[in-house]
Amino acid sequence: MITQGDEYPIHQTPEPVQQVFTSDRNFYDRFFFNGCFPEGEPYFAVGMGIYPNLGIIDSAFGVTVGGVQHSVRASRVLGAERMDTRVGPISIEVLRPMQSMRVRVDHEAVKADLIFEARAAVIEEPRFTRRAGPRIVMDMTRFTQHGGYSGSLTVAGKTYEAKPSRVWGARDRSWGVRGIGPQDPAGVPSSAMGQYYWLWSPANFEDVCTLWDVNENADGSRWHEHGAVTRAQPGAPLDLSTGGLDFNINYASGTRHAKSAEIILRTPQAGESRIELEILYNFYMQGIGYFHPKWGHAMYVGPDVSTYDSLKTADVDQRDFFNQHIEAVCRAKMGSRKGMAILEMLILGPHTPSGFKDLLDMHP
CA-CA distance, 243 to 227, in Å (whole number)?
A: 8
Q: How far apart are CA 35 and CA 188, in angstroms?
A: 41
Percentage above 90 pLDDT, the chain:
86
pLDDT band at 351 (very low <50, low <70, confident <90, very high): very high
Residue 242 pLDDT: 76
What's the pLDDT score for residue 97?
95
Q: What is the pLDDT of residues 236-291, one digit of tens each?
A: 999 998 777 999 999 999 999 999 999 999 999 989 999 999 999 999 999 999 99
Helix, strand, coil percent content, the chain, rounded in steps of 5 = 5, 55, 40
Q: Do the beta carbons of residue 94 and residue 184 sit within 8 Å?
A: no
What is the pLDDT at residue 46? 98
**252 vs 100: CA distance, rounded Å:** 37
Q: For 145-186, give the DSSP string.
A: EEEEEEEEEEETTEEEEE-TTT-EEEEEEEEEEE--SSPPPP
Q: Residue 53, Cβ neighbours under 10 Å: how many?
A: 17
pLDDT tens for residues 110-130?
Answer: 999 999 999 999 999 999 999
- Is-contact 123 230, C-beta < 8 A? yes
Query: What band does 136 get if pLDDT is binned at 50, 70 and 90?
Result: confident
| Model pLDDT for residues 296-346, shown as the tens digit of each residue | 999 999 999 999 999 999 999 999 999 999 999 999 999 999 999 999 999
Mean pLDDT, range 189-206, rounded to an integer:
84
Structural domains present in the chain: 16-181+194-354 (2.40.370.10)
pTM for the predicted model, two decimal places = 0.95
